[in-house]
Structure 1
Amino acid sequence: MSSLPQIKIPATYMRGGTSKGVFFSLKDLPVSAQTPGAARDNLLLRVMGSPDPYGKQIDGMGAATSSTSKTVILSKSEQADHDVDYLFGQVSIDKPFVDWSGNCGNLTAAVGAFAISNGLVDPSRVPENGTAIVRIWQVNIQKTIIAHVQMTDGAVQETGDFELDGVTFPAAEVQVEFMDPADGEGAMFPTGNLVDDLVVPGVGTLKVTLINAGIPTIFVEAQALGYSGTELQDDINSDVKALATFESIRAHGAVKMGLISHISEASTRQHTPKVAFVAQPSDYVSSSGKSVTTNDVDLLVRALSMGKLHHAMMGTAAVAIGAAAAVTGTLVNQAAGGGERTAVRFGHPSGTLRVGAEATLESGQWQVKKAVMSRSARVLMEGWIRVPGDSF
């Protein structure tokens, strides 16, 4: 039996926010993978080491969590007044599936740096020193994102003293603006309600806030599920019954949001929607041992990604939190104390995060013009990814 030798593809392994992923320039991919389809999906699956029935991704670049099984494809933008087109692929760990249905807000923080360093941004738009404004077209969700990237002596400044809970070491701050983050194809609140009753067989009828902002998200009250909002990963991820309950909520919520027509389709759309539970502030100790007090936060949020409780908070879910908090009457707003607000600081398993958003009611529809947060990013490794030549 003969096998094709490995091929090598230029790639960069980067951290963005609390996630890691493999970044590619579109032009560097094999020709068959430069367009959407099975070849591209199979290539990215093999790059990450999926599908892996052991759930470890040992034979690939993935690290067996939703935060680290991620891929990014970038190219010079085809959109007017944009610098780079950003396509995100969430690679399933144990299934032969790449989910293209949403964005990764955390890795967004690394897009500007990669684009500048790889010649995807017009040099005339990049200062020798100061801040480069990178205009990103997010292909998955057809939205504009603005990244503010620090430059020093003509190179991206990656080191600094900005600290981000969920990331051990400080780095340079990257401010990210998510422009008009609500779903461009529908209302920010797809049912027209700020709070809905969601019937979930075996669970009951839950009060939920369903929102399309940043990423489609289902918010539920922690106490309705028997939680306090102070839970850490092991409290949820070690409980098989709890994970099944959250997946059932996600599937039924997806139907109510109009994202799928039947709950059976949820298994083919793992990346979206997200499920998160919210609670009023309470003291707890984060996963790093850091104490978070009621004075540190406006509310508590725990969110699930790819079927597991996230170790911190997805960037896109943070946008959803900020947007929902800005609208008086949502479950997120109520957990934060109610009333009008333009920013919120919430507690997550790794610590706290602040996100700003302003909501307005226009022609009977709620709109958020912009959501803003700060992340950090840096290159971990660059060179070539190697994959067997017959894997795609």
Structure 2
Amino acid sequence: MNARAHAPGPPSGLPSHAPAEPPAGPDPVARLFRPADADFAADPYPAFAELRALGRVHWYAPTRQYLVPHHADVSALLRDRRLGRTYLHRFTHEEFGRPAPPPAHEPFHTLNDHGLLDLEAPDHTRIRRLVTKAFTPRTVQRLEPVVRRLAAGLVGELRREGGGDLVAQLAEPLPVAVIAEMLGIPAADRGLLRPWSADICGMYELNPSEETAARAVRASVEFGDYLRELIAHRREDPGEDLISALIAAHDEGDRLSAQEMVSTCVLLLNAGHEATVNTTANGWWTLLRHPGAQEALRADPALLPAALEELMRYDTPLQLFERWVLDDIEIDGTVIPRGAELALLFGSANRDGARFERPDELDLARADNPHISFGAGVHYCLGAPLARLELAASFGELLHRAPALRLVAEPEWKPGFVIRGLRELRVEF
């Protein structure tokens, strides 16, 4: 997902990227792919199957992108260095044929463009190496008792209340609390994090509104200012937290800049919990609609690791990831020129029958499961081990302590398609 802070529009000095001969009559791709429609967002998978049957790549006029729906192509393109999360390491906006973001959006882009998710080599390589020195497997291992204690406390509160909203009372607070604990953010300030994250992540949807952009800019300024003050305190009084480790991380004299440190912390919160929130809620919504699978999982807790991978495949929390075309590529005879943008459809790729047996069937014991919900290549999710730890803790607690979990009301989906999740999931015990 690129931050689409301004409508893409046709590039100047380069072709518009539209096919030379648009299809006559109604556009079947626009008919199938309707990310702004609530019914499509609620269940995009039948439309994805039709898109895959239509071909390997499709021009989508509303966002001026090429949609890529097949697993083999998405997996390969995530690793293809002719594509990039950004193009600014090689081209100016003008050279690439793209308008610069509006000046009013600058605080958001300063924050976003210095994070690992939207960088390419050599900056991405350097920063990821430094962050990896601080965010080690040992860091995650040390957090395990904290994660399990937090999950147990949240599930215990739900039990005492006889149920509640799994989104607001478990899926959201657990990963936020874990990231806050890891970064060393004081408990009194943790209520600020989720609203900041939600406002910033609004910019990752397709063609966000100016109101969305204004909220993201405001959150970027407020969150950035907060982190700069916290980082300054940690420089004076280091602790055992990740911010202190990031300050100390160096490689041959190279250190993270102040902005890189702020952007890294924001990315760890945003990327580190948005997918976990939606995997938790969407996963339980899936299990509640598959009572046989839920009972099998309760009967055999050893299934849980494979089950979590299957839940991420079956209903993908991040549906779409974007890449810029830095050098011309060809997909199935279609030449896609430099300056174009690809929309890699993760949700479609994870239901591709060419890669998965019975792709529309939930199989919690699925052994061959190369889903791409954490991405692939150099941008593979750095926080995947932590996400899996959080999911195992929360699902494990609910399965063990809520054997009679029942749905209270049919849930609604939040607006937005790229980061796809439920508004709430009300249950009773």
> Normalised by the size of structure 1, how large is the TM-score?
0.27
Relative contact order, higher structure (CA 8 A, sep 6+): 2
Bigger fraction of residues in strand: 1
Computing the radius of gyration over CA atoms, which structure comes out larger, 1 or 2? 2
Bigger fraction of residues in helix: 2
